[in-house]
């Protein structure tokens, strides 16, 4: 379970430009559920997602994932936590454009101590799961938006994480590719992954596999 | 992290980022090549010059008249023989001869073929020389540069020197010196002492200067004073003073070498500063992505240091290898002229390898430490900020 308690995130604290991105957030997300964080641009949903992913630290409050507090973890531990438990899918894919699909997908496995054979097996599995196997030798810069998205999904799945975090995953996709993305998420839900998607896309509004929609506005959770 | 997996990824990244590395690598290769070439040339010249100096006499004595160096009277030799501790005292005859057709100067050196010379190199030459054949007619041994000039003007067998009284003196070319003697003997013409005096218009009872040895090094300063006391119009030059002068000129820590080093190091510093300030947004994003997918700050820094080290090491190695080929196989065209001078004869020297490995290692450290620092510091600065920020 993921438990967020009294979470605040303040930028430029104690200056004239002080800005509250998140205010007093309290959420519980059940394991293997799919949750949508919904809100307009600047509402704070991406900030919340990056705190959940240990990519940034909260100003106050706590985030407990699998009974471990990740809010104040030192770098070495938060990196290890990300590498073993989390998979990220970013709006702008965040891939290495010079590398090919297979090489991009293997990046999260490098610090985990696997040998090359194990890496190859895991990458092969992720390629199949994200349905991008046919493009594995293609350089990322030559891929379409949808293919880049599937490469990013494969990279997020390669370390077999329990939690998948998606930040505006359909923002750069057309409707066909958006639906394909939703199919992959449905498949992941069936594999008992916990999925958290930060989006303002209405395509996620009435999906059967979505367990909860949390609306965020100006850093607050709307009841 | 498994080393083999890490290295696989490291080399993959270097290969894929080759276009990013190529500019800094080329500049680094050029800088290392320049510094290494200068070091190789300076150490070779220094070795050659010191070997030559070692073969020279301990003291050179010249006569000064109204502040000008004039020919030295030979009776001084007898005066100096009275001083205890002096050995191998000899007259020396040499001077410059203007070769009109090419507007170049040659250096004529006269040697006494029947006396053991104080110069070890000339002794070696005399041992190999068939003196009776050499003296059967007026003959000369010429340096490689002189040989080239003579050939250019079709003087293959002999040349007629112009004398002061408008007469000419025909001298046959006995042989030319080997090319490996070019650093010091390129413009030399060696001939019998009496013939040299005739061509250089030096009276029979005079010489250009007088040389002598003082085997006991501890006595050298005392003997210098005694020599000065013998004649007031005297100039005494000690071999050690010449050595020091050459050391200052050709040592990499002094003279033009130091200026070259400073210029190159400043250029290198500017390039590194540019690299330091120009860690691009793509680098920033790359570090952010690595951190986001589970790489720790330590892992990212290890990757960047290794990447930079490999680039710097390969650049250094290539730079040194090219410099070695340039100096020892191609005889350092262009750069060689800077050190040996453009003047007078074109000197095609061949350098003997004389590499000081401690200097190479020092150069490597001076190169690699700033190079890595220029990448490490900005990388660390980016790596410690939150990945969500660096990916923006």
- Is B5–A103 a contact, with Cβ atoms under 8 angstroms apart? no
CA distance A18 to A11: 6
Tell me what pLDDT residue B183 has. 60
> Mutating which of A9, A21, A55, A159 best tests the B interface, going by the most B Cβ atoms within 10 A?
A55
C-alpha distance across the termini of chain A, in Å: 21
A19-38 b/e (C-beta count within 10 Å ≥ 16 → b)? ebbbeebebebeebbbbbbb
Beta pairing, strands B158-162 & B68-70? unpaired
Query: Looking at CA atoms only, how far is residue A208 from chain B in angstroms?
Result: 29
* Residue of chain A whose Cα is closest to the Cα of B298: A76
- Is B291–A56 a contact, with Cβ atoms under 8 angstroms apart? no
Residue B188, strand partner residues = B107
Q: Between vectors from CA A62 to CA A58 and to CA A66, what angle results, nearest 5°?
A: 120
A103 touches chain B (CB under 8 A): yes
CA distance B391 to B378: 15
CA distance B145 to B348: 8
- By the 10 Å C-beta count (0-12 exposed, 13-18 middle, 19+ buried), B175 is classed as middle
Of B4, B16, B293, the CB nearest to A99: B16
> Mutating which of B293, B298, B304, B386 best tests the A interface, going by the most A Cβ atoms within 10 A?
B293
pLDDT (tens digit, 9 = 90+) per residue, A82-116?
998 999 999 889 999 999 999 999 999 999 988 88
Q: Between vectors from CA B153 to CA B149 and to CA B154, what angle results, nearest 5°?
A: 110
Give me the sign of the Cα torsion angle B197, B203, B208, B209: positive
Tell me what pLDDT residue A151 has. 95
ipTM: 0.90
Tokens 């300063």 label which residue? B221
Q: How is chain B split into domains, by residue range?
A: 3-51+245-390, 59-213
A187-219 b/e (C-beta count within 10 Å ≥ 16 → b)? ebbeeebbbbbbbbbeebeebeebeebbebeeb
CA distance B123 to B141: 14
Q: State how far the alpha carbon of B213 is from the alpha carbons of B31, B85, B216, in Å.
A: 45, 8, 9
Map residue A139 onto helix, strand or coil: strand
> Mutating which of A79, A101, A138 best tests the B interface, going by the most B Cβ atoms within 10 A?
A79
Q: Using an 8 Å CB-CB cutoff, list chain B residues near A103.
A: 12, 16
> Mutating which of A96, A139, A153 best tests the B interface, going by the most B Cβ atoms within 10 A?
A96
Q: Using an 8 Å CB-CB cutoff, list chain B residues near A155.
A: 293
Residue A186: other Cβ atoms inside 10 A? 15
pLDDT (tens digit, 9 = 90+) per residue, A57-87?
899 999 999 888 888 888 888 888 999 899 9
Of A46, A119, A155, the CB nearest to B293: A155
Q: Using an 8 Å CB-CB cutoff, list chain B residues near A75.
A: 296-298, 384
A215 touches chain B (CB under 8 A): no
- Residues in B whose CB is inside 8 Å of some CB of A read 1-2, 4-6, 8-9, 12-13, 16-17, 285-286, 288-299, 384, 386-389, 391
Domains and CATH numbers, chain A: 2-221 (3.40.50.300)
Q: Higher model confidence: residue B333 or residue A140? A: A140
User: What is chain B's pLDDT, residue by residue, as a tens digit (392 residues)?
Assistant: 678 888 989 999 899 888 888 888 898 899 889 888 888 888 887 787 777 777 778 899 999 998 899 999 999 999 998 888 998 898 989 999 999 888 888 999 888 877 665 566 666 666 666 777 777 889 998 988 898 899 999 999 999 999 988 899 999 998 887 766 556 677 889 898 999 999 999 999 999 999 998 989 888 889 999 999 888 889 999 888 877 777 766 665 556 667 777 777 787 777 777 767 766 667 888 899 999 999 999 999 999 999 989 999 999 999 999 999 999 888 888 877 776 665 555 555 667 787 778 878 888 888 888 888 888 888 888 888 888 777 77
Out of A118-122, A182-186, B239-243, B285-289, least confident range: B239-243
> Max Cα separation, chain B?
93
Q: In degrees rounded to 5, what are phi and psi of residue B303?
A: -65, -50
**Residue A96: DSSP 8-state:** -
CA distance A159 to B254: 60
């Amino acid at each position: 379970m993921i438990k967020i308690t009294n979470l605040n995130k303040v930028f430029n604290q104690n200056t004239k430009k002080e800005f509250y991105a998140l205010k007093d957030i309290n959420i519980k997300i059940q394991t293997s559920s799919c949750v949508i964080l919904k809100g307009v641009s600047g509402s704070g949903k991406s900030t919340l997602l990056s705190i959940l992913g240990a990519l940034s630290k909260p100003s106050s409050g706590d985030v407990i994932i699998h009974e471990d507090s990740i809010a104040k973890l030192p770098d070495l531990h938060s990196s290890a936590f990300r590498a073993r438990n989390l998979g990220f899918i970013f709006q702008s894919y965040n891939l290495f454009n010079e590398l090919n699909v297979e090489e991009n997908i293997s990046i999260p496995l490098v610090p985990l101590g696997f040998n090359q054979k194990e890496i190859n097996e895991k990458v092969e599995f992720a390629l199949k799961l994200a349905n991008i196997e046919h493009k594995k030798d293609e350089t990322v810069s030559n891929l379409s938006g949808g293919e880049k998205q599937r490469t990013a999904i494969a990279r997020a799945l390669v370390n077999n994480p329990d939690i998948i975090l998606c930040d505006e995953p359909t923002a750069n996709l057309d409707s066909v590719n958006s639906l394909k993305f939703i199919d992959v998420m449905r498949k992941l839900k069936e594999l008992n992954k916990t999925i958290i998607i930060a989006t303002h896309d209405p395509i996620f509004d009435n999906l059967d596999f979505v367990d909860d929609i949390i609306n965020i506005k100006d850093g607050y959770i709307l009841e | 992290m498994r080393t083999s997996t890490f290295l696989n990824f490291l080399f993959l990244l270097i290969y894929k980022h080759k276009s990013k590395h190529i500019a800094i690598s080329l500049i680094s290769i050029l800088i290392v090549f320049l510094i290494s070439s200068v070091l190789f040339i300076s150490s070779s010249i220094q070795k050659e010059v010191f070997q030559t100096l070692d073969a020279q006499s301990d003291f050179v004595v010249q006569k000064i008249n109204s502040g000008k160096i004039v020919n030295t009277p030979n009776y001084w030799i007898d005066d100096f023989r009275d001083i205890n501790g002096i050995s191998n005292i000899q007259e020396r005859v040499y001077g410059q001869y203007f070769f009109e057709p090419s507007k170049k100067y040659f250096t004529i050196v006269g040697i006494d073929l029947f006396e053991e010379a104080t110069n070890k190199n000339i002794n070696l030459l005399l041992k190999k020389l068939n003196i009776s054949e050499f003296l059967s007619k007026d003959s000369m041994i010429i340096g490689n540069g002189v040989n080239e000039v003579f050939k250019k003007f079709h003087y293959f067998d002999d040349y007629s020197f112009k004398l002061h009284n408008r007469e000419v003196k025909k001298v046959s070319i006995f042989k030319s010196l080997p090319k490996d003697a070019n650093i010091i003997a390129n413009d030399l013409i060696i001939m019998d002492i009496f013939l040299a005096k005739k061509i250089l218009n030096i009276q029979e009872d005079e010489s250009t200067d007088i040389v002598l040895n003082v085997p006991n090094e501890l006595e050298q300063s005392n003997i210098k004073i005694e020599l000065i006391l013998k004649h007031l119009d005297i100039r005494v030059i000690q071999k050690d003073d010449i050595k020091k002068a050459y050391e200052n000129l050709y040592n990499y820590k002094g003279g033009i070498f130091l200026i070259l080093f400073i210029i190159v190091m400043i250029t290198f510093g500017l390039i590194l500063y540019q690299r330091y300030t120009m860690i691009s947004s793509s680098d920033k994003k790359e570090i952010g992505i690595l951190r986001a997918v589970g790489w720790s700050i330590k892992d990212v820094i290890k990757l960047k240091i290794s990447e930079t080290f490999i680039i710097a090491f390969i650049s250094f190695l290539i730079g040194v290898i090219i410099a070695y080929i340039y100096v020892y196989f191609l005889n350092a065209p262009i750069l060689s002229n800077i050190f040996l001078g453009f003047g007078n004869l074109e000197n095609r020297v061949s350098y003997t390898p004389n590499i000081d490995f401690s200097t190479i290692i020092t150069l490597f450290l001076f190169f690699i430490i700033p190079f890595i620092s220029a990448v490490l510091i900005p990388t660390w600065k980016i790596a410690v900020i939150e990945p969500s920020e660096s990916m923006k």
